[in-house]
Structure 1
Amino acid sequence: MEDGDHIFINGYKHVRYTPAEDLESDIIEESDAFYRWIDSRRSVREFSDRPVPKEVIENIIKAASTAPSGAHKQPWTFCAVSNAELKSLIRVEAEKEELETYSNRMSERWKKDLAPLATDHHKPFLEIAPWLIIAFKRVYEYDESGEKHNNYYVNESIGIACGMLITAIHKAGLVTLTHTPSPMNFLTRVLKRPSNERAYLLLPVGYAKDPAYVPDLSRKSLDEVCVFYE
């Protein structure tokens, strides 16, 4: 069955795809402009406490949730925290794990690789940044009858969504960094999340401190990250 705007495949409605915009004439220029814009993104550890409207956080999370996912299950929950007491508690718990990691879990090679980034177990940005977004992966769901069903390609799906979240943060003129205190079980406890959710990534979100400094690093060249088969 077809009417031009939609068809039915296997009994399910499929709507006609409409591209966001036609860039055919400028596709090289547009793709280069996007690359140069996204290349300006950096992981920033020095935050301003300048407030960020809740609506901005809502918009960037909605943008992240447009990500593709296994069987369209959208297996993620984004917890946005601005409550000062919760942020302080998260910092305390995160620094406990980070101190243990830097003291006993990291190899000397790992520490050497981190040296140019000037990181340690102190994480003041967890209190200073106006928002923390914690991405939880939803490993399984329960249907209406209470039966448990595993989600598909959960790590891949939430990884893509977090990449889009980071891009949306950059588009909003804000900064972030990917923080993964390991283990992250304390986030499930502190935020009282259900048993089917696992903490995946913590992102402080806000404006960069003025001035803020980042390591003078370079990215790998295209030849180092891509192989063409033509």
Structure 2
Amino acid sequence: MTNKSLDKYLFDETRNSMLDWPKRFNIIQGMARGILYLHQDSRLQIIHRDLKAGNILLDGDMNPKISDFGLARKFVGSDTATKTKKVVGTHGYISPEYAIHGQFSIKSDVYSFGVLVLEIVSGRKNREFCHDDRNDNLLGHAWKLYKQGRSIELMSASLQASCVIPEVLRSIHVALLCVQNHAKDRPTMLSVVLMLISESVLPQPKHPAFYSEESSSEPESVSSVDDSMITHVYPR
């Protein structure tokens, strides 16, 4: 693709200014529609399993295209969830039920999408995020700001001049709904698309995965999981 992948701009201090808020919001919406197509509108329902900034390609107009289907799984009929002993994917984007129990479904992709949206808004990587003396990851930081009514502070400073505040806040809110700890609480991608384009009141999210409200200790990591629960984790 003309502009290569999203991560080449999003996490690069010299290039991130090329992604103003209208471009980022267009990328968020385009990703949502693309995942919805995979989950619902294609002939075979497809779970990507490795959605991340490096797998979102950008064309000449900065429109997103989902790529790298090497880890994808296809389903026929209504059975769109399964279990595996070999957990594959990228640390920071893997849902908790997949990382810990090897269970994946369309809600696993929803979780990864939520992480991506928070990265797009903040310009920061979830798995490399740190904040002052706290051990929160990006999800935990976004959650704390949301609870304090300060979500706008998550936004990258490079977006100050171009941001549309209601769109930024709605994107963060939708992302937090997508990264909720329990898969059953996360919306479908159809709901995500509708929430992004509407002005309706959004449901309140529950706490995100890998976050403990009782303590500020370091969130769970896939590598700390009991070996008896999964066979291997293969980061990409």
Instruction: Give the TM-score of the pair, scaled to structure 2.
Output: 0.28
Return the structure number with greater relative CO, CA threshold 8 A, min gap 6. Answer: 1
Larger radius of gyration: 1
Structure with more strand by fraction: 1
Instruction: Give the TM-score of the pair, scaled to structure 1.
Output: 0.28
